[in-house]
Amino acid sequence: MIKSLLKTVAIIVIASVSLGARAQLVVDITSGIDDPTPIAVSPFSWSGGGVLKEDVSGIISADLRRSGLFSPVPKEDMLSFPKTPEDVVFRDWRILGTEYIVTGRIEPQASGYLLTFDLVNVFGQHKMFTKQVRGGQTQLRDIAHRAADEIFEAITGIRGAFSTEMVYVHEESRGGKPSYVLMRSDIDGARAKQLRRFSAPVMSPMWSPNGQELAYVSFETGRPAIFRENLRTGERKQLTNFKGINSSPTWSPDGTKLAMVLSKDGNPEIYVLDLASGKFTRMTRHFSIDTEPNWMPDGKSLVFTSDRGGKPQIYQLTLATGQVDRLTFDGDYNARPRVSPDGKTLVMVHRNRGTFTIATMDINSGRMRVLTETTLDESPSIAPNGAMLMYATKRGDKGILAAVSLDAGVKYNLPSQRGDVREPAWSPYFD
Amino acid sequence: MLKSVKTGLGLACVLAVMAGCSNTNSDKSSGEEYTQPEVDTQVETTVVDESEKMAPLENVVYFDFDESLLKPETRELLIRHADRMRGTPAAVRLEGHADELGTREYNLALGERRANAVRDFLVLQGVDAANLEVISYGEERPAQMGSNEAARAMNRRVVIN
C-alpha cells in the first residue's frame, strides 16, 4: 500500500466533450499497480474526410491506463505509428519495453464508423486478434470503449467494463438555492448529461439489472418517496408514498422485485415489493434500524445494515426462512453493504480509527481489508466485472467521486469541475 | 415549567396578601400598608411573563453523534414547546437531520429516530400526536456546510416547524 502511494502520480485529463454537457468529471489517477503492462495504442488511420471528433486511440489508451493494469506508451515516445500488424517493426518496440501493440483503421460508413483493430504481442511477435466495431455518428467514444473492452479481456482474462456508465447525484447552488441533479455519464466521466433536476434532495439511485431503468428516492413530494424511471422513454412512476421513510431501493438480480426500507410500522424495516403484483412483503421485525438492503447474486438472501446489536453492523437475511445472521464483527461501524458479482466479497463503509473508509470482507473467512485512505468515504458501487468500485468521498469540503480496485492496487479520482458529486451507481453491462 | 412556577408564586403572593389584609384589621402596623403595591408589582411581573409567551422559542434541538437521546436542556425547551402546543390544533412538523458522518441511508433512519424521540417526548407532555408529523432528511439538508465538528454539531438536529 505504502509502496503504491510512493509511486509517481500520473495525471491524465480527458478533454471534456462539449455536447451541452454539464459538470464534466475529470479523471486523475492517484495510484496503479507496481508493474503495469506496457502497451502502445498506435494512432489509428482515418480514411474519411476532415478530422474525427474524437481521438479514438487516445480514448482506448486512457481506458487502459485508468484500469491501473496498463501503462500506455505516450504518442511522443513512439518511434513509428503502425496502422496494421504488418507495419510493426518489433525491434523498435522491444527497445521501448512495449509488450503489446494495438493498430487500427477507422472507415466511414453510411451513417457512422467502422473500426478495424488488431492486438499484437511484441515478444511473441504474433497477432493475437483482429476485430471490428461499428457505431453511429455520435458513437465514436462507444466504439473506443468497446475496443478497449476487447483488448483488456484478451490480455487480462477479465471482461472489460469501459463501455459501462454510471449515474450520480450532483448538487450545486442556483441563485442561492440548492439544486439536485441526477446525472448520467460514461464510466470515465465523459458525456455527462442531466437526467432530471430537482429542487428537493434526491438520493440512492440504483440501476435495474438490464440497465434500462433506475430506482431512486426523491423528496419532491415533501417526503421521501421511491420512484422508478425508464431511461429510454423517460417514463416515471412513484412506487411508494408511505408515512415515514421510503428509502434504499435495490433491484433483485432477476429484476422482478425491489427491496426497500419503509418505516410505516414505526421504525425502519426491510420490505420486498413484487413489481408485477405491487405486493409488499415485510422481511424484518425489529425495533432497531434495519436499512440499506442489497441482494446476493442468487437472489435468495439480502445483506443489510442494522444497529440491533447497538452499533451499525452488516447482517444477512435468508428470504425463505427469515433467518438473520450477523456478518461483520470488526469495528463499531459497518454499513451500506454491496455484494461482488461472484457473491464472495462484501464491500461496505467501515469506520477505521475515527475515519470512514471503504472496506471489503471475504464472506467465507470474515477477513476485512480497508481499501481507501481517504476520509468520509461512502456509497461504494461495484463494477459488473467485480474488478473496481466507485465511491463518494470529500476533497476539502467538496464532494468528489473516486474509484479503487477491489485489491486496493488501483486508485483514481473523478472530481467535478463545479458543485458536489456523490452517490455513484455503476451500471450493469448493457448486453 | 418556568411559567407555571411564576404563576404559582404570583398566586402564593396574592394569598399572602389576602391573609395580610385580614390581619391588618387587627394589627394596624405600617408594614401591611405596603403589601398592596407589592401585589401590583407581582401582577406586572405576570404581564411580562405573558409577553414572553408570545416570543418565539428556539426551534432547533441538537444531538450527539449516532445518538437520539434528548439532552437535559433539550427536555426543558421541549416542555416549553409542549406548553404552547397543548390545546392548539396547529400541525407541527418535526424535521430530523444527521451530520455527514456515516452512510446516507442509515442517516435517514437516524434523523427519523431523533425526530421520533422529540415527538414521543412532546406526546408525553400532553401534545396530541395527531398534530405532529415526523419527516427525516438524513444528511441531505445540512444547516451548515463544512467537514468539521462545529458544522457537524449544528447538523445533528431536529427542527420544530
Domain boundaries, chain B: 2-54, 60-160
Q: Return the bridge partners of B93, or none.
A: B133
Find residue A194's DSSP bridge partners. A183
**Whole-number pLDDT of residue B24:** 38
For an interface test with B, the pick among A292, A304, A332 (most B C-beta atoms closer than 10 Å) comes out as A292
Q: Which amino acid is at A278?
A: G
Q: Which among A241, A397, A420 is the top mutation candidate for probing chain B, defined by the most B β-carbons within 10 Å of its own β-carbon?
A: A397
d(CA A290, CA A359) in angstroms, rounded, equals: 20
Q: Which of A182, A198, A263, A315 to mutate to test the interface with B (most CBs of B within 10 A)?
A: A263
Task: Tell me if A312 and B106 make a contact (CB, 8 A cut-off).
Answer: yes
Amino acid identity of residue A343, one-letter, is G
Tens digits of residue pLDDT in B93-121: 999 999 999 999 999 999 999 999 999 99
At residue B38, the pLDDT reads: 44
d(CA A260, CA A272): 6
- Chain B contact set for A270 (CB, 8 A): none
What's the confidence (pLDDT) of residue A24?
A: 67
Identify the pLDDT of residue A375.
Answer: 84
Mean pLDDT of chain A: 92
Q: For residues B91 and B135, what is the distance between their CA atoms, to the nearest angstrom? A: 13
Q: pTM of this prediction?
A: 0.86
Which residue among A178, A292, A394 sits closest to B106, beta carbon to beta carbon?
A292
Going by C-beta distance under 8 Å and a sequence separation of 6 or more, which residues neighbour residue A373? Answer: A1, A5, A357
- Give the mutation candidate from A168, A218, A246, A289 for the B interface (greatest B CB count, under 10 A): A289
Say yes or no to pLDDT of A276 above 80. Answer: yes
Q: What is the largest CA-CA distance in chain A?
A: 73
Q: Is the pLDDT of residue A198 over 90?
A: yes
pLDDT digit string (tens) for A224-235?
Answer: 999 999 999 999
Read off the amino acid at residue A155: I
B137 contacts in chain A (CB < 8 Å): 201, 219
**How many whole angstroms separate alpha carbon B17 and alpha carbon A220?**
61
Split at pLDDT 50, 70, 90, the class of A21 is very low
**What is the torsion angle, in degrees rounded to the nearest 10, for the CA atoms of residue A91, residue A94, residue A100 and residue A105?**
-40
CA distance B147 to chain A (A): 6
Q: pLDDT by residue (tens digit) across B117-147?
A: 999 999 999 999 999 999 999 999 999 988 8
| CA-to-CA separations, A374 to A36, A377, A406, B67, in angstroms, rounded | 23, 7, 15, 25
Chain B residues whose C-beta is within 8 A of a chain A C-beta are: 66, 100-106, 108-110, 112-113, 116, 134-138, 140-141, 145-147
Residue B11: pLDDT over 50? no
Of the CA atoms within 13 Å of residue B101, those in its CB half-sphere come to: 20
Query: Of B109, B135, B145, which is closest to A397 when you measure between CB atoms?
Result: B145
The answer to whether residues A386 and A400 touch, using CB atoms and an 8 Å cutoff, is no
Give the dihedral sign, CA A53/A56/A61/A63.
positive
Q: Comparing A32 with A247, which gets the higher pLDDT?
A: A247
Asked if the model's pLDDT at residue A22 lies above 90, the reply is no
Confidence category of residue A30, pLDDT binned at 50, 70, 90: confident
Contact A289 B103 (CB under 8 A): no
Report how many Cβ contacts below 8 Å link chain A to chain B: 86
Say which range, A19-28, A86-95, A169-178, has the weakest mean pLDDT: A19-28
CA-based nearest distance A331→chain B, Å: 13
**A99: Cα within 13 Å, side-chain hemisphere:** 10
Q: Which of A203, A311, A397 comes nearest B146 by C-beta?
A: A397
pLDDT of residue B53: 57
Higher confidence at residue B7 or residue A39?
A39
Contact A430, A171 (CB under 8 A): no
Flag the least confident range among A22-36, A89-103, A195-209, A416-430.
A22-36
Closest partner residue to B103 (CB to CB) among A311, A336, A396 is A336
CA dist., res. B1 & res. B82, Å (int): 10
H or E element in which residue A227 lies: strand A225-230
Instruction: For residue A313, give the C-alpha cell.
Output: 453492523
Share of chain B above pLDDT 90, in %: 60
User: Which residue is associated with the grid cell 465523459?
Assistant: A190
Give the dihedral sign, CA A301/A306/A309/A313. positive
What is the Cα–Cα distance from A326 to A380, expressed in whole angstroms? 20
The C-alpha of A370 sits at a distance from chain B's nearest C-alpha, in angstroms, of 16
**Mean of pLDDT values over A254-282:** 97
> Is residue A175 very low, low, confident or very high in pLDDT (cuts 50, 70, 90)?
confident
Q: Which residues of A touch B (CB under 8 A)?
A: 178, 201, 203-204, 219, 222-224, 244-245, 247-248, 261, 263, 267-268, 289, 291-292, 305, 311-312, 333, 335-336, 349, 351, 356, 376, 378-379, 394, 396-397, 423
What lies within 8 Å, CB to CB, of B88 at 6+ separation is B131
C-beta atoms of B108 and A219 within 8 A: no
Q: When comparing pLDDT for A319 and A10, which is higher?
A: A319
Q: A209 in the Ramachandran plot: left (φ > 0), alpha (ψ -120 to 50) or beta?
A: alpha
- The residue among A281, A207, A287 whose CA lies nearest residue A249 is A207
| Contact check, Cβ <8 Å, A335/B137 | no
Give pLDDT, residue A415: 85
Which residue do the cell numbers 507496481 mark? Answer: A34
CA-closest candidate to residue A376, choices A349, A414, A412: A349
pLDDT confidence band for B54 (50 / 70 / 90): low
What does the block give as the cell for A414? 473523478
Domains of chain A in start order, with CATH, are 35-156 (3.40.50.10070), 165-426 (2.120.10.30)
Half-sphere exposure of B92 (CA within 13 A, CB side): 27
Measured distance CA(A265)–CA(A243) in Å, rounded: 9
User: What is the CATH T-level fold of the domain B60-160, as seen in this structure?
Assistant: 60s Ribosomal Protein L30; Chain: A; (3.30.1330)
Which chain B residue's Cα is nearest to A222?
Answer: B135
Please report which confidence band the pLDDT of residue B17 belongs to, taking 50, 70 and 90 as the band edges.
very low
DSSP strand pairing (A324-326 vs A313-318): antiparallel
Shortest CA distance from A310: residue in chain B = B66
Average pLDDT over every residue of A29-48:
90
Give the pLDDT confidence of A329-379 residue by residue, as tens digits: 999 999 999 999 999 999 999 998 889 999 999 999 999 999 998 889 999
